[in-house]
Amino acid sequence: MTKLDNYLKKARENIMTQRELAKRIGVGYPYISKLENNKEHNPSDNVLYKISKALNLDIDELFIQANKITPDLYEFLLNEPDLIQILRVLMDNKSLLKELKKHIQEREDYLSCVFNHTNKIILITNKSTGKIVQANEVAQKFYGYSNNEWSTLSVKNIDCLTDSIVKENIKRPNSKTRNGYITKHKLKKGDIVKVRIYSKTIVCNNKTYIMNTIYPFNCHKINEKEDIKENKT
């Protein structure tokens, strides 16, 4: 038996109806009802991914509620068998597990402090999708988007480069030169500004993100037709 029923119902009921969720993920309405009433116990990975996207849920947490682990994590464990032994050691040594959790929390607290207490523009993005996970207050003020609005945006919504180049920058954040790379960003009110971006891969809660530190060129507005050349590696 899974814990998915109550978890899904609580996550959905204040956002959309069962029928709306069913339509978004491409299933019949009765299927959602069965999930929420614990009559369907084995949703497919594809369905869980779609639910996660529709309700903006943490994919790992959703899979856990369904008594599963994500395929990428499963494959990772298969390819790293030593980790199984490490996990067993942690299962048998609660004090060691507690110490490890403390270390991870301290690191995350440090990243949070850096993120929120700086005068730099910082955007945290999902490495795989380019979705903007978080924007600090400086970024919110510079771009003009509220915290809630950022959750609906991705890099391609603000970057004026072609989709293919944007995707390449997302996938290989550390491949640029030490001078970062130059691009054009569009503000909410429509202005186009020239910026230099320094990107760094970070891991938080066992997930991989990109921390983008953005430096405007003196907030100099440029014409959309102006060519922006990337620094070559």
Are both 92 and 138 inside the same structural domain?
Answer: no
Range of the domain at 103: 80-108
The DSSP annotation for 18-56 comes to HHHHHHHHT--HHHHHHHHTT------HHHHHHHHHHHT
What's the total number of domains in the chain?
A: 3
* Of 117 and 30, the one with more pLDDT: 30
Highest averaged pLDDT of the listed ranges 17-26, 77-86, 170-179: 17-26
Report the pLDDT averaged over residues 175-199.
81
Are both 128 and 215 inside the same structural domain?
Answer: yes
Q: Look up the CATH number of the domain holding residue 23.
A: 1.10.260.40
Residue 227 in domain: no
Q: Look up the CATH number of the domain holding residue 167.
A: 3.30.450.20
Among 77, 99, 133, residue at a domain's last position: 77
Are both 67 and 86 inside the same structural domain?
Answer: no
Task: Give pLDDT, residue 64.
Answer: 92
Task: Produce one character per residue of 192-219: b if its CB has 16 or more CB atoms within 10 Å, e if not.
Answer: bbbbebbbeebeeeeeebbbbbbeeeee
* 230 CB-side CA count, 13 A: 15
- Distance, in Å, from the CA atom of 145 to the CA atom of 126, rounded to the nearest integer, reads 18
Task: Give pLDDT, residue 128.
Answer: 78
- CA 213 vs CA 10, 136, 199, 233: distances in Å: 36, 11, 6, 19
User: What's the chain's average pLDDT?
Assistant: 81
Are both 154 and 180 inside the same structural domain?
Answer: yes
- pLDDT band with cut points at 50, 70 and 90 for residue 34: very high
Q: Is 70 helix (H, G, I), strand (E, B) or coil?
A: coil
